[in-house]
Structure 1
Amino acid sequence: MIARSLLIAPLALLAGCTHLASDNVDSPMDVHRNLLVLDTHLDTPINFGREGWDFAASHTLANDIAQVDLGRMAQGNLDGGFFVIYTAQGPLTPQGYEDALQFARERSDTIDREMARHPAMIGTATSAAEAQRLNDAGKLIALKSIENSYPLGEDLSLLKEFRQRGVSMAGPVHSANNQFADSATDTPRWNGLSPLGQKWVAEMNRLGMVIDASHASDAAFDQMLELSQAPIILSHSSPRWAFDHPRNLDDTRIRKLAEHNGAICMSTIYMSDMHLTDERAELFDRYEQIAELSAAEQADLIRRWRALDQTDPMWSIDFDRYMEAALHLIEVAGVDHVCFGADWDGGGGIKGMMDISALPMLTARLLEAGYTPEQIGQMTSGNVLRIMRAAEATANVTEAN
């Protein structure tokens, strides 16, 4: 979402990596192409339904604000991921819950409608097995997740409704405390999970849904890790080693996550201060309503956003620093406990890796660092699918009992 288009960058970088290839070793681009690549947090549904916007096209950062579309998924070999039902935090009142639930249901339906428009290119999956079958059939994969369980109100039976709507991952909280948990970026109210939040964990396990601890406070993370019968995930979080911010996870907790067979998905956010100027905040407010803007209003938003990228980028890091942090994360957690969720279309993207067309660079750098294609495949999808299967198995055990 930041700066100019980098569609040529992956090819340029990979051209410089030809020393990795030989008669018996695939090139970095070949390795990347052969991987199953899933991103665990795609905020792209915010763009669905925009006037004049085509999800099936291949846009560029020069002419659009979106970082993900079907064209660039093919170009960057992003095979799929979790399309997010995000609901902003509102008041903890019956009316607030009702309004949020209506919004979340509509966002879920919006995702379904968009995927149904492109059946030859992408299919929906509600389980690890379905995701694998779609990949085997040569189709892209659309999974669903909930960012912020606030729309559930105090009625945990609604989790079953969203599971039936195809949601396979959910997080309890976003940027402010809610009825389930303390947020990483708010003053503690519950000192972790609320009593209802503890029941939320049990219901997530019963339904076979993956628990997402991104945005949760350290105390809430600790409690979810101990209470959950299945491994948990952080769908879009960075290591605190890279930048001391409460949205990031410290090395001690990363190791505990690995001990519990979970995984942390490397993000591109909060590895520097966020440069949220008054103008950027105004543009974010407009962006959240982009599907309601006319084509002319969208064009004005995109023009102003890109101009601000040139004068005051949102994040101060570049791809090299991102890779330093990613390699540190892999060293601490191990290859069996790392995944990737850059927060595309939700504020993610850094200089040198601004949209999904740049993903081959990540594979090239991991190969340069000495990781094998098999190990990289664990990180690009294997760990996510393993955690999904573990959550599904917990549901089956619960049903059997």
Structure 2
Amino acid sequence: MRKQSTAILTILSSLMLTACNATVSAPINETNAQAAKRITQQNIIVDGHIDVPYRLQNQWVDVTKSTEDGDFDYPRAVEGGLNAPFMSIYVPASLDNSPESTALAHRLIDYVEAIVGRAPDKFALAYSVADVEQNFKDNKISLPMGMENGSPVQGSLDTLRMFHERGIRYITLAHSQSNHISDSSYDLRRQWKGLSPFGKEMVLEMNKLGIIVDISHVSDAAFYQAVDISIAPVIASHSSLRTFTPGFERNMNDDMIKALAKNQGVIMINFGSSFVSPVARSWRDNRTQKADELAKVFGKDSQEVKDFEEKYNTESPYPFATLEIVLDHIDHVVQLVGIDYVGIGSDYDGVGDSLPINLKDVSDFPNLVEGLLERGYSENDIKKILNENVLRVWRDVEAVAKAN
């Protein structure tokens, strides 16, 4: 019955989005480049995952102004049309099961609030879909927040509620290691064989609160359990497709994407070269394997390992992905399950210098849209990818919370 209610809510949300986002007539003889610029400036763009807060943790910089480093700042966001980036409250797995995990999460939320405090004419917090839409009307960039790694919850539903009160609107259940909530795709231990007993309880509490369940990073078993348990749709906030990167469990396979679509969820494509390109993936895997072999003999921080990595990088330059292969990932999802289940989760400021050619920072979203236009996507289709699909999920999550 609950699943049926969610399906009805999904249909109603889709109708509302269609009514609120009527197509603006395109100028006659508009080039794809001109159309892409117009589309990015006239519409909400939701990016599911940008690591600005942890970037500020490493080195404070005022992103309300132009910055020399990183992938995000206000001028570049305006240029690219990005106006609803989810700020990632990222807590490293190394802090799991420690008080510093929770403390860091609060500190990163403080950073997001500080960005808004420094430039309230440019940025605004966003706790709901309505906030995102109102901020867009007010010509402000929304800063919704998602927590990457549920470690700061510390096994307490009261702490989960506190983070909801502070503005967390999705939680990536685990990161690079199994935690007290879920197994990680990177962790071979698989101690829970999916979700922990608390993790299963937490998913349902997230439904009640209106926090989106994010299954990026979790093991396959944890994914299927989360989809089965959750009353509301789930997202993959920054994942790409395993069909292009065989053996890389961090990405999703076709069966998982079909299950996600059946759940009415959305996969938000990660731009990192090693997430989308098999060549970049092989380059990284090969370097890691050889460096690990040397580390067993000489030590992880030895000069031999450092010399090898420097020589490897020089003799075999990193094979950056292209915009085209990012578009291939979007195409594959659309061909597999339809246009309604794909979005953007760039991982800007989170994947270092591995970003694809022509997608190097947040000013490059017009390049993505131009590529979609050249592949025959309609403007209405593109708006679904840019915002409507994930906002539909968010609305459904809000509706389920209201009903519970």
Q: Letter of the aligned partner of 2:223 in structure 1?
A: F
Task: Indicate the residue corresponding to 1:143 in structure 2.
Answer: 144
1:119 is matched with 120
Displacement after TM superposition at 1:312 (Å): 5.9
User: Residue 200 of structure 1 aligns with which residue?
Assistant: 202
Tell me which residue corresponds to 1:39: 47
Distance of 1:40 and 1:27 partners within structure 2: 23
Question: Do structure 1's residue 275 and structure 2's residue 284 form an aligned pair?
Answer: yes
For 2:325, give the aligned amino acid: R
Whose helix fraction is larger, Structure 1's or Structure 2's?
Answer: 2
Q: What is the match of residue 249 of structure 1?
A: 252
Deviation at 1:223, TM superposition (A): 0.6
Task: Indicate how the Cα distance of structure 1 residues 119 and 91 shifts in structure 2: closer, same or farther if over 3 A, else same.
Answer: closer
- After TM superposition, give the deviation of residue 51 of structure 1 in Å: 6.3
SS of the residue 1:48 aligns to = helix
Question: For residues 390 and 29 of structure 1, do their structure 2 counterparts lie closer, same or farther at Cα, with a shift above 3 Å needed?
Answer: same
Q: TM-score, normalised by structure 1?
A: 0.81
Task: Indicate conservation of the 8 Å contact 2:265/2:393, yes or no.
Answer: yes
SS in structure 2 of the partner of residue 275 of structure 1: helix
Moved more, 172-181 or 343-352: 343-352
Alpha-carbon deviation of 1:311?
Answer: 7.0
TM-aligned CA distance change 1:334 to 1:310, over 3 Å:
farther
Measured in 1, the distance between the counterparts of 2:329 and 2:27 equals 26
**Does the residue aligned with 1:249 lie in a helix, a strand or coil?**
coil
Conserved? CA contact 2:333–2:339, under 8 Å: no
CA distance in 2, matches of 1:55, 1:43: 12
Tell whether the 8 Å contact from 1:48 to 1:111 is kept in structure 2 after alignment: no
Partner of 1:85: 89
Aligned length: 347
Kept in 2, the 8 Å contact 1:122–1:141? The answer is yes
2:78 to 74, 78, 98: 74
Shift of 1:68: 0.7
Kept in 1, the 8 Å contact 2:209–2:401? The answer is yes
RMSD: 2.6
Q: 1:230 to 1:113 in 2, by over 3 A?
A: same
Decide whether aligned partners of structure 1 residues 192 and 323 sit closer, same or farther in structure 2, where only a CA change above 3 A counts: same
1:309 and 1:42 map into 2 onto residues whose CA distance is 26
**Whole-Å separation in 2 of the counterparts to 1:233 and 1:156:** 21
**Superposed CA offset, 1:156-197 (max 9, x none):** 211110111011111110011111111011112111111111
Change (3 A) 1:91 1:267: closer
Question: Residue 151 of structure 1: SS of its match in structure 2?
Answer: helix
Judge which range, 365-374 or 321-330, deviates more.
321-330
Aligned to 1:216: 218
Between 96-105 and 356-365, report the one with greater CA deviation.
96-105
Provide structure 2 residue ranges, at least 5 long, that are not aligned to the other structure.
Answer: 1-25, 292-311
2:107 aligns with 106
Instruction: Tell me: CA distance 1:53–1:99, structure 2 relative to 1, closer, same or farther (3 Å).
Output: closer
Report the Cα distance in structure 1 between the residues aligned to 2:333 and 2:146, rounded to whole angstroms. Answer: 24
Residue 27 (str. 1) matches residue 28 (str. 2): no
Matches within 5 A, 1:344-355: 344-347=348-351, 349-355=355-361
Q: What is aligned with 1:362?
A: 368
Contact map agreement 1:275 1:313 (CA 8 A) in 2: no
Q: Is the 8 A contact 1:213 1:232 kept in 2?
A: yes
Change (3 A) 1:313 1:331: farther
1:57 pairs with one of 61, 65, 90: 65
Amino acid at match of 2:47: D
CA separation of 1:309 and 1:76: change in aligned 2, threshold 3 A: farther
2:210 & 2:116 partners in 1: Cα distance? Answer: 23
How high is the TM-score relative to the length of structure 2?
A: 0.80
Amino acid at match of 2:348: W
Secondary structure of the corresponding residue to residue 46 of structure 1: helix
For 1:109 and 1:33, locate their aligned partners in 2 and report how far apart those are by CA, in whole Å: 29
1:321 match: 325
Deviation at 1:378, TM superposition (A): 0.9
The one-letter amino acid paired with 1:266 is: I
8 Å CA contact 1:343, 1:349 repeated in 2:
no
CA distance in 2 between partners of 1:193 and 1:143 (Å) = 26
